[in-house]
Amino acid sequence: MRVAPGIVLLLVGLALQFQVSSAHAQVITTGPDSVVVLSPETDSIAQQNKFFLSGLKNLDRPGKAALLSAAFPGLGQAYNKAYWKIPIIFATGAVLGYFIIDNNDKYQDFRQATIQRRDKKDKYMNDPIYGDQRPNGAQNLRSSRDFYRRNRDLTIILSVGAYAMNIAEAYVHAHLKEFEVGDDLSLRLQPDLFHTPANRSVAPGLTLTLYTRTK
């Protein structure tokens, strides 16, 4: 399978994002004892790591859930103890991944055949739909190539949307877990009469009231 250049660049960028930066230190030797002195570069990296860790500690529960889901889909749901959602997330990712690979393979196949058709060396030369003997065989090749390319690109967009929904769901769920209804809140449902300006009459109905109890 040949992957599109955009996908390769995306994977390389993610790999560089999560790559651990190497640190350097200077060893100063005086007599039998050796002293390791951190270089300015190492000290800067240590400060950045400390700032990052302190930022994680200061995050609230929804922020941590969103960050975990961004790092690995389903991890935020596990943090929220919504374990039943994890198989759904994995199944969605597997289906979308399958269609990305399948559509990309077919796109590359028809793309190569379209290029080789100029020299009449493609494998669809005698095909009843794409064959050279058909007046629109070359056009059918190009149409299939464009069709699978659009499907691949659309599936990639859907995958990005599913990834964002995974993060949003973990964030919202964590917010809802922190939402508590106190004893001071009350909901009252009672019958009422409503005036209808159209025919100047009165119609029965129900009134739903949310209020706080005062002690």
For residue range 47-62, what is the model confidence (pLDDT) as tens digits? Answer: 666 655 566 667 888 8
Average pLDDT estimate for 15-26: 47
Distance CA 7, CA 159 (A): 12
The answer to pTM > 0.85 is no
Number of domains in the chain: 1
| Mean pLDDT for the chain overall | 78
Q: How far is CA 123 from CA 58, 85, 158, 197, in A?
A: 60, 45, 32, 76
pLDDT of residue 56: 61
pLDDT tens figures, 63-105: 899 999 999 999 999 999 999 999 999 999 999 999 999 999 9
- Give the residue numbers spanning the domain of 97: 1-6+61-179
What are the tens digits of pLDDT across the range 120-172? 888 988 888 898 888 888 899 999 999 999 999 999 999 999 999 999 999 99
Give a yes or no: residue 74 inside a domain: yes
- Of the candidates 84, 81, 43, 89, which has an alpha carbon nearest to the alpha carbon of residue 65? 81
Note whether residue 156 is domain-resident: yes
Please indicate, yes or no, if residue 190 is contained in any of the structural domains.
no
Token code pair at residue 42: 């190492």
Q: pLDDT band at residue 193, thresholds of 50, 70 and 90? A: confident
Locate 171 and state its tokens: 């964030």
Is residue 3 scored above 50 in pLDDT? Answer: no
